[in-house]
Structure 1
Amino acid sequence: MLDKITIHSGNFEKPNFKVINGIKFSAREIDVIACLLQGRPLKTIASLLTISLKTAENHSRNIMQKIGCNSRDGIINHIENSGTFNKFRQHYECLSLEAQFKKSLAHIQSELKSKESNCTILLGDKIPLFFKETLKKHLEFLGFKLTFNKEPLRYLSSQLSKKFSSPQVILLFPEEILKLKNTPLYKELRQQKSFIIVEIQEEFTHSESNLETTYYLAFLKLLARLSPEIDVESYKETLKKKFYSLDFSHATPIYSKENIKLENELPYSKLTYYFFISLIALLFLGITGYKFYDKKPELDETIHSELTLPAKNVFLERPDLIKRIHENLKEVQGITTIALVGSGGAGKTILARSYANTYLHSVTWEINAETHVSLLTSFENLALALCTTENEKKIIKNLREIKDVQEREKTLSSFIKRHLKEHPNWLLIFDNVEEFPDIQAYFPHDSHVWGPGKIILTSRDENIQNHTSINHTIYIDELSAIEKEQLFSQIMEINFKGKQKEQVNSFLIHIPPFPLDISVTAYYLKATNITYEQYLENLNQHNQEFMNLQKDILKNANEYTKTRYEIISMSIQKLIETNKDFSDLLLLISLMDSQNIPRELLDNYKNKATIDKFIYHLKKYSLLLNTEIANTFSLHRSTQEIMLHCLKTSLKLGPNNQILEAILSNFERFLSEATEHENYEKMKILISHAESLLKHASLFNKLGVAKLRGTLGYLYYLLADFEYARTLLEKNFNFLSKYKEYQNSNILARTSTYLGIFHWGFGHFKESLFLLEGSEKSYLKNHVYDYWGLARNLLYLGMVYWDIHQREKARIFFEKALNIYNRYLPNHYLDKAFTLSYLGTTYISTDLKKTKEYLDKSIDLLKKNFKENHVKYAWVLSDLGIYYSTIGEYQKAVDLDKQVLKIYKEHYPENSTNVAWALRNLGSHYCYLGEFKKSKDMLKKSFMIFKNSMGENNVKTKYILHLLGIVHLKMGDTKKAKKIFEDCYLYYKKENGNNNLHAVHALKNLGRSYIIEGDFQKAEFHLKKALELYKNNHSFYSEDVFEALYELYSQKSKSSKGKQKVVYKQQAIEYLKQALKILKDNYPKTSPHLTRIQEKLTEVDS
């Protein structure tokens, strides 16, 4: 069913008599006169007009002063003599009806409470602006969120297929409805429940049948459709009674076409002309109703300073921000203040003006708060605008003759306070506030003194939000990519498409994302016709002629005259004037990456009190950006570039500058500390800052740069970016090796150590040993010891020897490193724990009890000093997992491996070798639990990561392949397993000789393969060779070979007869007893290996 509501504006005459007998009255004074003529006391007048009693008294006094009388009778006589008495009586009746309607709205609003509903208004271009605004204000007052859509008929035809969740109100003239009825669209429209047609009629007669079409009653009828839960009938009856009690016989349409303006300045049709004549009363019945809930005087009574905005075709509308401002200011209780904070050129002033021009207030005035003089001038202009008599204007103009400045300002302030209070719901814009104390004396705080109102304050000072007078703060952030393109296109007057659009977007990436910068760029390009590339080149060079031309172009384009360079350079100058230490700090942050600069880095450079002041003043000039990472701050890249350019000039930076050397040295120490303690969170943040410093390498001495480059290379290694780590470290090593004076330096020794660690990580043990042994010699030659560097060098020498299975030698280096940590670096708990863990693993094949003791010490140290998700904690847990695997407690090993994998995935990419290492251990231990599929999948994934990172012919890759061979063997694919073991054995033998444990393990597993194939001769050859090599390594891994020999001789016994069968069986039992002896001597009594061998012996004996 299609709802249809007819609205008629009424044919009431609005009094068009501001000048009576040569005396000019304001609209509000006309209202007061109308009430006085009806004998209403001032208290009743104040209530009727929703103004204060004092304001009503002031209006009455002003009227008497203008007329030259001192009583109500004098006013009546003046009006009677003018011949306008009847018009005033009619006006009073309109005001009375309006008041009743306002009461109804108030009651309805209280019923609706805070309920919000959506509604779409469809209207044509010919619907007058004031009608649209009246309807909009009334519905929004009652909590409706409105959307307006022009060209309703075209819109309807394209939208009817949709289901609407909110009502669709259509405003149409009668002939439009008639036209609609003759189309198929009308039939479809009738079936839609969500559409309401509002018919606008131009003819009206004062009768019962047409009374429903008056604006007030028709509005209530519309409201009943929109909110069925509201019973509007009682309100309608009240309004009807009020309507019939009044006499509108005096109403005559006296308006001419020239007094009416359409929203879009369209030509007038005859119908529209007559419609406007009859719609005039809406100015009473609708617009004056605004006073009820916004306390706004009529349009012609508002006081408004000139708030210039860019022309519409070059104006970037930011409706979301305007909406946020409105949301924060719409609930007026007393005085509400919002601060718009952002860098210069972010568009704060334009946003404030745009809001002021969008929403009507009794007084709207912009205060230029840039200087004290401009502040006073703005307030003097406001005072003049508030004057209602010539005498008041004379008082304000004569203020400058008062010599006492404080007295003069006090008088001005008192005048403004008194007059603003008479204009409730005012709006003041304090523009470009530098410091709040500058405006304190003129800032409205108390609504009892100033009256209720709103304040928008614009400032670059982010700290201003902490002031108690600020209710809300909106940070005006940079423009989005879409907004940048939109503003640029508007000014350039080009609709960019295709490749041209891509070029524009690529170009705009390099332009600071603020309205000022986009505007000046577009205007410059329009004026000069240079290419994008030429503009960027000029921009980056900060050429003075270019900047001067920018400024000239900007002056001609708009009111703003400061370029980005000027804004930043002036801020830097003020910062340095504030505190001499700020110049060093400014230089420091201008050399860092602009994003996520750690506060701790600055604290490490200057004392915390100075840094607190520095951060405060950076915020004061909006030089900082909001960051998501705690305890860091950011700058916009363009701000930082300008900052560095200014500082290079003002500080006269050159080679061997002490400030620069202090910055580099301090940062390298800070970075080294993060890497030494392997603080992964800090390392990740510092990478970009180290890279940024290296980009400015020409400013620093070469040795300092080399030291930083070496530390950064090692940091990349720790974070698993191996290729770039290698590039940096090799570049550094080659550079330092060229100079004799650096060849025995600690810097070269550290670089050599880091590069040696890199080669160890990739299984290049020969290269690693060469570099680590060379750096050890360099450390020991220096009189000034780098204890951490030496200890790290010794630790990794031990790790290399551990990996090539020279465990005794490895133990010596681990003990040396541990001694340095205990003696010189007692607080380096991480390195100490790591060394203890590795020291324990040197006993894994000879003394399991010691292994466990060292691992427990390592874990206790880590638990006391680090979070349990630290990567080194994971490493030690991994060693503990290997211990449990060695003694046969595979489930414990798997549980630890899962924990390790989880930690590594938190710190490293999925395809990193660290994650692959955890997968290797977990896959290996799943195999011994009999979960072969899981084992195979994990080992395959680990193998592919190592293969892609280090190549297939790498000791670490081969080791994972070896483990895969064991899985194949257990899954019955003996042929594939044997091929893998043969390949691995040949590789191990070639790389590290026949005596290393990897080669021995391969021999043992080859022997097991031959047992399964039934080739007992080859099996015995390989197993006995492996046994000999295990004994040479003093390893109790020989237990496993004895068990394999037991399996071999058991098979030989089964395949033999007679005496030989018994001999083989006895030999098998002997091998099993030897395995049991090794286990009893070296393994815990609870070891599953011990239990397994004992069970086998029992089974054989039975």
Structure 2
Amino acid sequence: MRNGSPNFVGREEELAEIHTKLQAGQGVIVCAVEGMGGVGKSELALQYATRYQQEYVARYWLSLREMGLAQAVLTMASPYLALPESMQAASLDEQAAWYWQNWLPQEGKVLVILDDVTDLKSIPKQARPLSERFQILVTTRKRKLSPQFSEITLGVISESEALELLGKMLGKPRVEKELTAAKEICEYLGYLPLGVELTGRYLQLDEDLRLSDYRQQLTIADESMDIQEDTGINAPRGVIAAFELSWKELSSNASKVAMMLGLFAPADIAWSLVEEVAPQLNFDAKDLQEGRKQLNNFYLIKAIDDERTRFAIHSLTRQFLQWKLAQEPETNRLFREAFVNSLLALAKQIPSSPTRDLIARVAPAILHLDMLSREMLGDIPNLEEDLYLPFVGIARFYEGQGFYALAEDPSQRCLKVTQELLGERHPYVATSIHNLAVLYRMQGRYKEAEPLFKQAIALSQELLGERHPSVAASLGNLAMLYRSQGRYKEAEPLFKQALALSQELLGERHPDVATGIHNLAMLYRSQGRYKEAEPLYKQAIVLKHELLGKRHPDVAAGINNLAMLYSLQRRYKEAEPLYKLALTMIKELLGDRHPDVATSLNNLAGLYDSQGRYEEAEPLYKQALSLKQELLGDRHPSVAGSLFNLAILHHKMQRHSEAMTEIQSAIQIYEQTLGIEHPHTKAAMSWLPSIWVALNNSNYRKTLSQYRDRISRFLLRLIRRNE
């Protein structure tokens, strides 16, 4: 939770009203009169959270300017709380609802501040907490946002409060010495808290400047500015004049840094991201340091952590900086192009299997990349080459963490935008269709994925020719889909065709060739053709190790799959160290909460299961199941696989009641996602009779034992009675 400003004044009635209404179980919206900015909506929320912190066991601040509530909740909560089997739906809103229902701590009041809500669609009812222990405080620029909340309109502060704020910053003696000038300044600023604070900071930095002289400078600045009605700055002219005076105090380098910062999304700005953009504009470390210091001194930016690694820019300040940049057309063009190119370069660095270190490095850029994908596509210098990059970068960022639901929106928008801007028959349209199909396959949405794969293949062949790497990739992924569905006869020729095409076009030593070899090995393993699979697995591992390096997710996946092959052949001594090595590598590279971690845990558990080491297998199976449910949703074939494995394990452990529940759940998911004819469905159904018989025999023996106990007690009572 952020800290509020130490210069806060007034608003006592509003603070009391917020508290009264929240305690009465009402959600509260704080909005500005007539949508005015700079009145202190967010600051009021922060001050409330600080003043009444003892009332709550936890307080959360969710900024919704650049994302919806469901996405914000999922992003914040998923690393700490795993989705269980009972959560049936997979939509973002329903997942968010489940998180609210199971929020930790599970008792006590929780304050949730939803800051800068743009419209009601961003906070749908189904994504909000329903329990009264969650007290929701919303800030927004819009009036009458929702009748479901109690609205508190926030206007400017009073003259006395404005003077008090100025006095806090300058000291009362300085204000009282020139009280008339101080009153005129506050009036000229429209009693807007942001304007008063901006002015106070300016006067703090120049202790010799008389308030009356500053008042005169405001007038001169106001009269000298050519402010049009469509300037986009939602503030009184006096406040814009205050911005202008601070602007004039900046050095040339600092003003350029400021204009660059105005291009970022209205979200937290990591200074490391600024350092990524700076070289594009020929800013060196000294320029950035000077700019950050001056902008922070004049309150044009605000540090939001003690280390000064993250900064925030007020929406009005951002509008002013963008207006300044727009006044210099050539500079505007160069800055926007450099900003966009820097973010696109970051997006290019996100591979299909990003490591957790890379995810952590690019995470600060995602909201700004998302803003680019919505507002700045026209600034991409080469649409034909780079239009897809921001969308694919965002999607890969979420897919790499197993957040497939969050990856869906950028993937769908990528397809729509490429069709609109590049035409229906463009290679990037084919790529976008292919990427969406891959996402659906990873989600287990096979019926939706198959026609998209076929559409992507047909379009790629038409536009690029039948012998092209993109065609090979789509053929390989369609084959993967068929393998997942148990359609092995259809998958094999496609795998071979894709591999041969990749070898011809890319050469024998290419990552795509290694992937093709690995995928064919997986098919042979699924078919029980172990002798054919083993040399292919080894060949793929060696090739990927040479091309991608020893510490790479694809290398870890290859080792894991080779271990599975050994396990299926009962070569347990060879399999176990490989499983453990793969699990260690995957956790190191992708983090603890990733679908590949769940797969690796499940496979190691399977090894222990096959060896009769049931007590070691069970916690690993459960951990894998929980992780899959959290990341993939409850209705995914992979979740059914974990349930099936647990059912067989519990059956072997004579825990037939648990086994029956799990096998029934697995069959239900398999039937819904893969169909009744799929090998996995048939395999699960084949175990149902033996578990049913074992369960009923167990119940029969239990009933007979209880009956015998009752007879014995009855006879004992008769004996005692006769005695």
- TM normalised by structure 2 equals 0.56
Deviation at 1:596, TM superposition (A): 4.6
Separation of aligned partners in 2, 1:615 and 1:785: 50
Deviation at 1:913, TM superposition (A): 3.5
Q: 1:706 to 1:1013 in 2, by over 3 A?
A: closer
1:776 corresponds to:
457
1:848 to 517, 530, 540: 530
The answer to whether the aligner puts 1:698 opposite 2:375 as a matched pair is yes
1:595 corresponds to:
270
1:810 to 491, 514, 526: 491
1:503 corresponds to:
44
Provide Cα deviations, 1:44-93, integer angstroms capped at 9, x if missing partner.
xxxxxxxxxxxxxxxxxxxxxxxxxxxxxxxxxxxxxxxxxxxxxxxxxx
Q: 1:625 to 1:832 in 2, by over 3 A?
A: farther
Pairing 1:920-931 to 2, within 5 Å after superposition: 920-931=602-613
Q: Is the 8 A contact 1:625 1:636 kept in 2?
A: no
Provide Cα deviations, 1:112-133, integer angstroms capped at 9, x if missing partner.
xxxxxxxxxxxxxxxxxxxxxx
Residue 888 of structure 1 aligns to a residue in which SS? coil
Q: 1:986 to 1:776 in 2, by over 3 A?
A: same
Provide Cα deviations, 1:978-1029, integer angstroms capped at 9, x if missing partner.
56446645654564455432134225434665896899xxxxxxxxxxxxxx
Q: 1:973 to 1:859 in 2, by over 3 A?
A: same
Q: Is the 8 A contact 1:714 1:754 kept in 2?
A: no
Pairing 1:593-742 to 2, within 5 Å after superposition: 594-597=269-272, 611=282, 614-622=284-292, 636-638=311-313, 641=318, 644-651=322-329, 660=336, 663-664=339-340, 667-668=343-344, 670-675=346-351, 678=354, 680-695=356-371, 697-701=374-378, 707-734=389-416, 739=420, 742=423
The answer to whether the aligner puts 1:535 opposite 2:192 as a matched pair is yes
Deviation at 1:625, TM superposition (A): 11
Q: Is the 8 A contact 2:557 2:582 kept in 1?
A: yes
Separation of aligned partners in 2, 1:917 and 1:525: 68
Q: Is the 8 A contact 2:271 2:309 kept in 1?
A: yes
Separation of aligned partners in 1, 2:465 and 2:193: 50
1:555 corresponds to:
209
1:961 corresponds to:
643
Q: 1:802 to 1:594 in 2, by over 3 A?
A: same
1:758 corresponds to:
439
Q: Is the 8 A contact 2:595 2:631 kept in 1?
A: yes
Deviation at 1:814, TM superposition (A): 3.6
2:122 corresponds to:
none
Q: 1:972 to 1:676 in 2, by over 3 A?
A: closer
Deviation at 1:965, TM superposition (A): 1.4
Residue 701 of structure 1 aligns to a residue in which SS? helix
Q: 1:547 to 1:876 in 2, by over 3 A?
A: same
Larger radius of gyration between Structure 1 and Structure 2: 1
The answer to whether the aligner puts 1:797 opposite 2:478 as a matched pair is yes
Residue 570 of structure 2 aligns to a residue in which SS? coil
Residue 524 of structure 2 aligns to a residue in which SS? coil
- Tell which has more relative contact order, 1 or 2 (C-alpha 8 A, sep 6+): 2
Residue 327 of structure 2 aligns to a residue in which SS? helix
Q: 1:716 to 1:949 in 2, by over 3 A?
A: closer
Q: 1:906 to 1:552 in 2, by over 3 A?
A: same
The answer to whether the aligner puts 1:744 opposite 2:413 as a matched pair is no
2:539 corresponds to:
857
- TM normalised by structure 1 equals 0.39
Residue 713 of structure 1 aligns to a residue in which SS? helix
1:934 corresponds to:
616
Mean CA deviation greater in 515-524 or 751-760: 515-524
Q: Which amino acid aligns with 1:698?
A: E
Pairing 1:179-328 to 2, within 5 Å after superposition: none
Deviation at 1:884, TM superposition (A): 1.5
Deviation at 1:851, TM superposition (A): 1.6
Q: 1:967 to 1:998 in 2, by over 3 A?
A: same
The answer to whether the aligner puts 1:913 opposite 2:595 as a matched pair is yes
Pairing 1:559-578 to 2, within 5 Å after superposition: 573-574=252-253
Residue 805 of structure 1 aligns to a residue in which SS? coil
Q: 1:653 to 1:810 in 2, by over 3 A?
A: farther
Q: 1:574 to 1:966 in 2, by over 3 A?
A: closer
Q: Which amino acid aligns with 1:614?
A: D
Deviation at 1:901, TM superposition (A): 3.4
Q: Is the 8 A contact 1:710 1:750 kept in 2?
A: no
Deviation at 1:967, TM superposition (A): 0.1
Q: Is the 8 A contact 1:901 1:918 kept in 2?
A: yes
Q: 1:645 to 1:831 in 2, by over 3 A?
A: farther
Q: Is the 8 A contact 1:757 1:796 kept in 2?
A: yes
Separation of aligned partners in 2, 1:828 and 1:959: 34
Deviation at 1:764, TM superposition (A): 1.3
Separation of aligned partners in 2, 1:906 and 1:710: 24
Q: Is the 8 A contact 1:625 1:634 kept in 2?
A: no
Q: 1:884 to 1:505 in 2, by over 3 A?
A: same
Q: Which amino acid aligns with 2:616?
A: K
Q: Which amino acid aligns with 1:965?
A: A
Deviation at 1:877, TM superposition (A): 2.2
Q: 1:683 to 1:909 in 2, by over 3 A?
A: closer
Separation of aligned partners in 2, 1:481 and 1:687: 23
Q: Is the 8 A contact 1:706 1:732 kept in 2?
A: yes
Q: How many residues align?
A: 505
Q: 1:943 to 1:651 in 2, by over 3 A?
A: same
Q: Is the 8 A contact 1:927 1:967 kept in 2?
A: yes
1:98 corresponds to:
none
Mean CA deviation greater in 757-766 or 701-710: 701-710
Q: Is the 8 A contact 1:677 1:830 kept in 2?
A: no
Provide Cα deviations, 1:901-934, integer angstroms capped at 9, x if missing partner.
3344445565543433232222222211222123
Aligned CA-pair RMSD: 5.4
Provide Cα deviations, 1:147-192, integer angstroms capped at 9, x if missing partner.
xxxxxxxxxxxxxxxxxxxxxxxxxxxxxxxxxxxxxxxxxxxxxx
Q: Is the 8 A contact 1:965 1:977 kept in 2?
A: yes
The answer to whether the aligner puts 1:888 opposite 2:570 as a matched pair is yes
Identity level (%): 15
Separation of aligned partners in 2, 1:904 and 1:551: 53
Deviation at 1:970, TM superposition (A): 1.2
Q: 1:910 to 1:617 in 2, by over 3 A?
A: closer
Deviation at 1:813, TM superposition (A): 3.7
Q: Is the 8 A contact 2:263 2:336 kept in 1?
A: no
Q: 1:536 to 1:905 in 2, by over 3 A?
A: farther
Q: Is the 8 A contact 1:623 1:636 kept in 2?
A: no
Deviation at 1:824, TM superposition (A): 5.1
Q: 1:766 to 1:645 in 2, by over 3 A?
A: same
Pairing 1:10-159 to 2, within 5 Å after superposition: none
Separation of aligned partners in 2, 1:600 and 1:791: 39
Provide Cα deviations, 1:382-426, integer angstroms capped at 9, x if missing partner.
xxxxxxxxxxxxxxxxxxxxxxxxxxxxxxxxxxxxxxxxxxxxx
Residue 444 of structure 2 aligns to a residue in which SS? coil
Q: 1:720 to 1:504 in 2, by over 3 A?
A: closer
Q: 1:594 to 1:687 in 2, by over 3 A?
A: same
Q: Is the 8 A contact 2:518 2:558 kept in 1?
A: yes
Separation of aligned partners in 2, 1:558 and 1:905: 64
